[in-house]
Structure 1
Amino acid sequence: MILIIGAGLSGLLTAYHLKKEGIPFKVLEARDRVGGRIHTIYKTNEAPVEMGATWFTSQHTYLRSLLEELGISYFEQYMGSKVFYQPSSAQPPQLVTIPNESPSYRISGGTFNLINTLLSTLDTTDVLLNQTVKKVTFEEKSVLVEAKDNFKATKVVLALPPKLWSKNILFTPGLPSNLMNIATETHTWMEDAIKVALTFKEPFWEQENIPATLFSNAGPVTEFYDHCDHKRSAFALCGFINSAYKQLSSTERQEAVIKQLKNTFGSRVLEYVTYQEYLWSKEEYTFKASEAYIFPHQNNGNPIFSNSFFTDKLLISSSESALEFPGYMNGAVLAATATAKKIVQAQQEI
């Protein structure tokens, strides 16, 4: 049996590939939900809002191929030709014309539609929640994994960010020091991000013919975009808050956000139905403090993550481990596909 640690995109996609090949596995997830850093909030009669992974481009061919294979549609992120831009706190937001660049895309029905579709291909007993892995022991012909329950496998796949497994899991015997050093200094995508979204009954920005996009160097909101659903029948705005604002209380943060948005979009922004925010630094299964500053995408795609260890009993698969587009959903798809291929090939050689 193969044990996959982590039920995010890379973990569930690895499981999906193994399922098609008839190779037995279990997915262990520490959280009480699947999806990892894909986290879409759904409310009745409101646009799905993304608190995690959201956008991809035409260059992300592995992700696009997977969506097509699963029959999941996607749509172009609405931008328009003008945006609000605030260069500093000393200057008010101003209208700026943006170049006609390659579009970004979003998944119809929310990014979690991808997770849910992958999950639907698996048996209910294939994915086990609330299983925080504490120890992995490599024996001569098997691997023992200690979580809430104990498991025995032929191989283990680490389908979670390297910094997390390097700091949270005890490996016996220990992993190679060069691997551990690089893993602890690998940036985890989204680890310090704050997402914010407001839903509306009406798209006032369309009605008033003003941009839905804001780029600000002043904050708290640094980027804000049209976030209507793919049918444009439910309406929202969504984006990022400067991570420094995590020091404030949720009430203080919301007040600062609404004040900034009112100054940018006008008083109709006060017509919002719901305000949602998500601090990924509060997620113990995403965020882990670093001893020294880690640059964005630092060590993402490091070739060492493509190796297997302990005579192929340990494989690494996460967005950060991908050799192409690491740190993105496309990278998670590539890493999972490559990992599953290694496992299938090994099974065929037995």
Structure 2
Amino acid sequence: MIIIIGAGLSGLLTAYRLQKEGIPFKILEARNRIGGRINTVYGANNTPVEMGATWFNKEHKHLKALLVELGIEYFEQYMDGEVFFQRFANSAAETIQIPKQAPSYRISGGTFNLIKTLYQQLAKEDVLLNQSVKEIKLLNYKVQVITNEVFEGNKVVLAIPPKLWAKKILFEPSLPNHLMSIAKQTHTWMEDSIKIAVTYKQAFWQNKNRSGTLFSNAGPITELYDHCNHQRSKYALCGFIDSSFKQIDDVERRYRVIEQLKSVFGEKASEFLDYKECVWSKEENTFEATDVFHYPHQNNGNPIFSQSFFDDQLLISSTESAPEFPGYMDGAVYAANVIAKKIIAAHKV
């Protein structure tokens, strides 16, 4: 039995690969939902908007290969028309020319379509929610994973951000000091991000030859993009706001966002159907406070995470562990593929 901690992209894909080889597993997920930092929510008119992972590019070959394998379509991010840039808080947004860039892509039906497709291939009794892991005991020939229950297996896969398992799980015997030190100093992707999405009846920006793209030094919005669905039949704008705005309440945040949209796109921006947001620092199963500042992607892809420990009883996954594109969905896919191959190879010996 393989015990996988975390039902995000890496954990679910690892399980999917093991199932195809007939290797038994259990996924233990602390949240009351699957997906981890992939979280598509549905606004007015059932419009899918992303509160977590959204974009990828042509270099993300592992993710693209998985989408092809699972028969999931993807589409190019809409960027046609004018782009706005706001230099200062009191300055009007101006149109700018941005250099021609390689396109980014989004998953048709929302990023959660990938999570749902993997999950649907698994037996539901093998994916257990509301299972917050408190302790992992690495014993001779077996592992014990303790939540409010005790689960036993012969290997455990840590498919959650390193900082979380280093700070929240008690290991017996203790993990190597160097590993724990690096893990505690590893930046968790999305941990201090705030995503917002605003749904509309029409893509009013497109009608005026605007791309829906905004870059701002003023805030609260720092980046904003067109977020219509693949068929362009549902309409939204989606992006990030400055993490300092987590200090104010949600009503004030929404007011500031809409005021900024009005100043850039005009009064039509106030005619929204709904507003969604996710302050990731409030997600206890993503955010863990640190004593010192971590720069973006700090220690992501550190070689120590590619090692296995306690005679291969403990394996490390998650996007932060991947040596290729760590911190991205592609990294999560890469990590899952590598870990699954290790387990499958050991199983065949």
When normalised by structure 1's length, the TM-score is: 0.99
User: For residues 182 and 309 of structure 2, what CA distance do their matches in structure 1 show?
Assistant: 15
Tell me if structure 2 keeps the 8 A contact 1:212–1:226: yes
SS in structure 2 of the partner of residue 239 of structure 1:
strand
Deviation of 1:206 after TM superposition, in Å, equals 1.4
Residue 260 of structure 2 corresponds to: 260
User: For residues 61 and 192 of structure 2, what CA distance do their matches in structure 1 show?
Assistant: 27
Residue 45 of structure 1 corresponds to: 45
The one-letter code matched in structure 2 to 1:227 is: H
User: For residues 314 and 209 of structure 2, what CA distance do their matches in structure 1 show?
Assistant: 55
Segment of structure 1 superposing worse, 203-212 or 95-104: 203-212
Residue 31 of structure 1 corresponds to: 31
Residue 287 of structure 2 corresponds to: 287
Residue 206 of structure 1 corresponds to: 206
Tell me if structure 2 keeps the 8 A contact 1:82–1:98: no
The one-letter code matched in structure 2 to 1:320 is: E
Residue 334 of structure 2 corresponds to: 334
Report how many aligned residue pairs link the two structures.
349
Q: Alpha carbon RMSD of aligned pairs, Å? A: 0.8
The one-letter code matched in structure 2 to 1:167 is: K
Q: After superposition, where does 1:137-216 map in structure 2 within 5 Å?
A: 137-216=137-216
Deviation of 1:92 after TM superposition, in Å, equals 1.5
Residue 136 of structure 2 corresponds to: 136
Question: Which string of whole-angstrom CA distances, capped at 9 and with x for unpartnered residues, describes residues 273-307 of structure 1?
Answer: 00001000000000000110000000000000000
Residue 72 of structure 1 corresponds to: 72
The one-letter code matched in structure 2 to 1:239 is: G
User: For residues 342 and 123 of structure 1, what CA distance do their matches in structure 2 show?
Assistant: 22
Residue 19 of structure 1 corresponds to: 19
How high is the sequence identity, in percent, across the aligned residues?
60
Deviation of 1:51 after TM superposition, in Å, equals 0.1
SS in structure 2 of the partner of residue 45 of structure 1:
helix
Deviation of 1:149 after TM superposition, in Å, equals 1.5
Deviation of 1:209 after TM superposition, in Å, equals 2.4
When normalised by structure 2's length, the TM-score is: 0.99
SS in structure 2 of the partner of residue 326 of structure 1:
coil
User: For residues 58 and 24 of structure 1, what CA distance do their matches in structure 2 show?
Assistant: 34
Tell me if structure 2 keeps the 8 A contact 1:201–1:272: yes
User: For residues 210 and 341 of structure 2, what CA distance do their matches in structure 1 show?
Assistant: 49
Deviation of 1:97 after TM superposition, in Å, equals 1.2
User: For residues 193 and 208 of structure 1, what CA distance do their matches in structure 2 show?
Assistant: 30
Change in Cα spacing, 1:302 to 1:12, as seen in structure 2 (3 Å) is same
Deviation of 1:105 after TM superposition, in Å, equals 0.1
Question: Which string of whole-angstrom CA distances, capped at 9 and with x for unpartnered residues, describes residues 241-272 of structure 1?
Answer: 00000000001111111111100000000111
**Structure 1: runs of 5+ lacking an equivalent:** none
Deviation of 1:44 after TM superposition, in Å, equals 5.9
